[in-house]
Amino acid sequence: MRIPYIYMALSLLLAFASCGNPTVPSQSSSLGELPSIYPDYTNVTIPCNIAPLTFVVNNEADEYVTRLSCGDHSVVMGGKEVSPDIDDWHALLATAKGADVKVEVFARKSDKWSAYSPFVFTVSPDSIDPYISYRLIPPSYVCYEELTISQRNISNYDEKTIYNNMLAATENKGSCINCHAYKNYRTDNMQFHVRQNNGGTVFVHNGVPVKLNMATDSTLSAGVYPSFNPVYDVVAYSVNKTGQIFHTRNRNKVEVQDEKSDIIIYNPVTNTVTNVADSPDDLEVFPWWSPDGRTLYYGSAHFTVQDTANTVVKEEIIRYRDIKYDILRRSWNPETFEFGPVDTVFAATKIGKSATFPRVSPDNRYLLFALGEYGCFHVWHHDADLHLLDLATGESWPLDEANSEYAESYHSWSSNSRWILFSSRRDDSNYTRLYIAHVDADGKASKAFVLPQRKADFYSMFDRSYNVPEFMLEPVDLAPHEFADIVKGEAKKVTYSSTGR
């Protein structure tokens, strides 16, 4: 057995011994190749206000020096882990706004210094929203224990818990929390769901939190996937009867299927819900409002039972590859609360694919969605990729620069429509990590980079997946224990209204 403690002591001694100011070697030979770094931040486009991109140099050497520079401004660091000081970093980015930060890595083996080919961080003048929120969840299937909805200041590394489900859990009465959402990137109108124990929807309306029971006799279920109307005081939800079933061999592992699903809207002023789309043979899901609040986008699959001896569930299990979603939209009149006819925005079924999770950019130019072979829960589908559709021309294309051969899904736009934040399983095929990519005015994405962390190897040990990433312009101010008090309280019953008003 190895005794790592000795190594740790030696490492500490070495660390102390090498604490002098690092200097770039005066002479070095060129290696003619990029260094192997983790995370892969080579030649990425970054926002001018992002936290320092820390990384580890994986190439073996006795000593390392890394220089980040832009013009005369440079930051030099020693060590295998490159972790720029946050003030130095932001000063450098301010200098490099609209230009490149050149990254040079030097490595010494014995007494010989070598230089890897430099790479760049292209610093976009487009800033990114300062906060994001996400749910941290183990990549499990049915079981759950501790889940948190957390918020992160992405100009630095500060992460805070918005709500932790253990705050209202007993040993055997846990609750799942999911689907946090905000109105217009602000947090005075927001929501998340609590399932099972203390179940309900924690809904903050104009800064006042309340717990809602959104289940009614006239709707399929309580609200599930939400979308706040950015202009008007309504929230669209899908309502779903969802099940999970497991692959015995396929690497996708699990299918999350809706036996039934519809769309409803919730009016927080009248505390009523009403059905929008509830066709029995159509599975409607993932609603999303256009920036003007007058169009509702959603995914929809037409699925009918072919063998009458089967139930829908049984047939969905057998024919799971036949469940394919198109992206539809309907206009909405905020005065009458009436919806217009269905318009197909992206007919994925015509190309034998399935498109879900439509997200319209705040400038109303592009529709971002996830495209896979089948189904709606693409986070479990390795083939799922992000696609962009130009709402002006109807043309669509895959975001190849941002995609990988693993699942990409659960994406959101920054408030200035220049950055997308999405979850991807490219790191290890199971744990979703958050990636950021720049999308220019022509809809061209840059190479995506993983959300930077204080410790470069953070993700290798972090045993939670990130999901439902959302941008925010401000943090959630309510404390977790204040939310816990709401969660433990009685839920206010929502009623059904046929008009929605």
Partner 1 sequence: MKNIGEKFIKKYNMASVNRGLLALFCLVTWLLLSFYESALLQRVDAQSLFLFDGTFFERSMRVPAGFLGYVGSFLTQFMYYPALGAAVFVALLLIVYMLVRRVFRISDRWAVLAMVPMFLLLSLNTQLGYWIYYLKFPGYWFVPVIGTIVVLLAVWLFDRASYKWHIPVIVAWTILGYPLFGFYALFASLCMAVLSLSLAIRNGNRMRLVFDGVATVVVALALIIEVPLVCYEYYNSMAVEFVHTAGLPSYHWDIRTDHFNESIIPYWLPYILLFAYIILLSVIYNRLSSRVEIDKRYIVVNSLLLTASVLFSYFYWYSNDNFRIENKQDAAMWESDWRKVADYARDTKEPSRQIVMNKNIALLNLGTAGDEMFTYPDGSAMIDAPMNVHLTHTGGIMSYYCYGKFNFAYRWSVENAVEMGWKVEYLKHAIRSMLLQHEYMIARRYIEILKKAPFHRKWALHYEQFLDNPERIAKEREFFVPLQMCKYPDVLDVDDSYVEAYLIKEIPMGYTLENSPVYNEAALMSSLVRKDANMFWPNLARYLYNRKLKRLPTHYQEAVLLFSNLNRNVDVSQLKIDNSVRMRFNSFMQATKRYKGMKEEQMAPYMLKDYGRTYWYFYFFVRNIKTN
Check residue 479 for interaction with partner 1 (CB under 8 A).
yes
Token pair 């109307």 is found at 229
Q: Tokens in use for 49?
A: 């206000």
Stretch that binds partner 1, among 210-218, 227-235, 269-277, 424-432 (CB under 8 A): 424-432
Among 142, 269, 309, 392, binds partner 1 (CB under 8 A): 142
Nearest to 409 by CA among 434, 446, 390: 434
> Is residue 58 at the binding interface for partner 1, with CB under 8 A as the rule?
no
**Please, which contacts does 341-344 make with residues 24 or more away whose CB atoms are closer than 8 Å?**
342/277
What Å distances lie between residue 103 and 32, 128, 292, CA to CA? 14, 22, 42
| Separation of alpha carbons 229 and 415, rounded Å | 14
- Torsional sign, CA 463, 468, 471, 472: negative
196 near partner 1, judged by CB under 8 A: no
Tell me whether residue 287 or residue 375 sits nearer to partner 1 (CB atom): 375
Candidates 2-10, 34-42, 114-122, 469-477: pick the segment binding partner 1 (CB under 8 A). 2-10
| Site track 253-282 with partner 1 (rule: CB under 8 A), x = hit | xxx---------------------------
CA distance linking residue 290 with residue 173, whole number of Å: 39
Cα–Cα distance measured from residue 158 to residue 414, given in angstroms and rounded to the nearest whole number: 19
* Residue 10 interacts with partner 1 (CB under 8 A): yes or no: no
| Nearer to partner 1 among residue 169 and residue 222 (C-beta) | 169
DSSP per-residue letters across 98-140: TSEEEEEEEEEETTEEEEPPPEEEEEESS---SEEEEEEE-S-
Say whether residue 308 binds partner 1 (CB under 8 A).
Answer: no
Q: How far is the CB of 392 from partner 1 (least distance, A)?
A: 39
Contact segment (CB under 8 A) with partner 1 among 13-21, 81-89, 269-277, 453-461 equals 453-461
Shortest spacing between CB 250 and partner 1, in angstroms: 5
Which one among 320, 337, 342, 364 touches partner 1, defined by CB under 8 A? 320
Contact with partner 1 (CB under 8 A): which of 430, 441, 444, 495?
Answer: 430
Q: Show the site string, 111-140: x = touches partner 1 by CB under 8 A, - = not.
A: ---------------------------xxx
Interface residue with partner 1 among 27, 110, 248, 304 (CB under 8 A) is: 248
CB of 155 to partner 1, least distance (A): 22
Using CB under 8 A as the binding rule, whether residue 397 contacts partner 1 is answered as no
49/432 with CB nearer partner 1: 432
Cβ-based nearer residue to partner 1, 141 or 397: 141
Angle (CA) 423-318-255 rounded to 5° is 15
| Interface with partner 1, residue 250, by CB under 8 A | yes
Q: Dihedral, CA atoms, 18, 22, 26, 32, nearest 10 degrees?
A: 90
Burial letters 135-167, b for 16+ CB under 10 A, else e: bbbebeeeebeebbbbbbebbbbebeebbbbeb
What is d(CA 478, CA 210) in angstroms, rounded to the nearest whole number? 12
- Asked if 15 interacts with partner 1 (CB under 8 A), we say no
Q: Is 484 in the site for partner 1 (CB under 8 A)?
A: yes
- Return the closest-CA partner of residue 265 out of 241, 288, 242: 288
Distance between CA atoms of residues 449 and 435, nearest Å: 5
Is residue 465 involved in binding partner 1 (CB under 8 A)?
no
Q: Which of 112, 173, 302, 493 binds partner 1 (CB under 8 A)?
A: 173
Cα atoms in the Cβ-side hemisphere of radius 13 Å centred on 348: 33
Which residue's CB is nearer to partner 1, number 24 or number 167? Answer: 167
Per-residue b or e along 239-273, where b marks 16 or more CB atoms closer than 10 Å to that residue's CB: bbbbeeeeeeeeebebbbbbebbbbbbbbbebbbb
Contact between 195 and 476 (Cβ < 8 Å): no
Structure tokens at 397: 């294309």
Nearest CA-CA partner of 387 in 343, 469, 445: 445
Contact 49, 73 (CB under 8 A): no
Q: Determine, following the binding rule CB under 8 A, whether residue 496 of this chain makes contact with partner 1.
A: no
Identity of the residue, 90 or 425, whose beta carbon is nearer to partner 1 in the bound complex: 425
Which segment (4-12, 229-237, 328-336, 432-440) binds partner 1 by CB under 8 A? 4-12
- Least Å from the CB of residue 248 to partner 1: 5
Q: Which segment (10-18, 93-101, 126-134, 168-176) binds partner 1 by CB under 8 A? A: 168-176
Residues in Cβ contact with 87 at an 8 Å cutoff, skipping those fewer than 6 apart: none
* Interface segment toward partner 1; rule CB under 8 A; list 217-225, 258-266, 287-295, 461-469: 461-469
Asked if residue 337 binds partner 1 (CB under 8 A), the reply is no
Q: In whole angstroms, what is the distance from residue 469 CA to residue 185 CA?
A: 12
Among 85, 145, 307, 477, binds partner 1 (CB under 8 A): 145
Beta bridge partners of 75: 68
Q: Which is nearer to partner 1, 48 or 254 (CB)?
A: 254
Binding region for partner 1 (CB under 8 A) = 1-5, 8, 138-146, 161, 164, 166-173, 244-251, 253-255, 317, 320, 427-431, 455, 458, 460-463, 479-481, 484
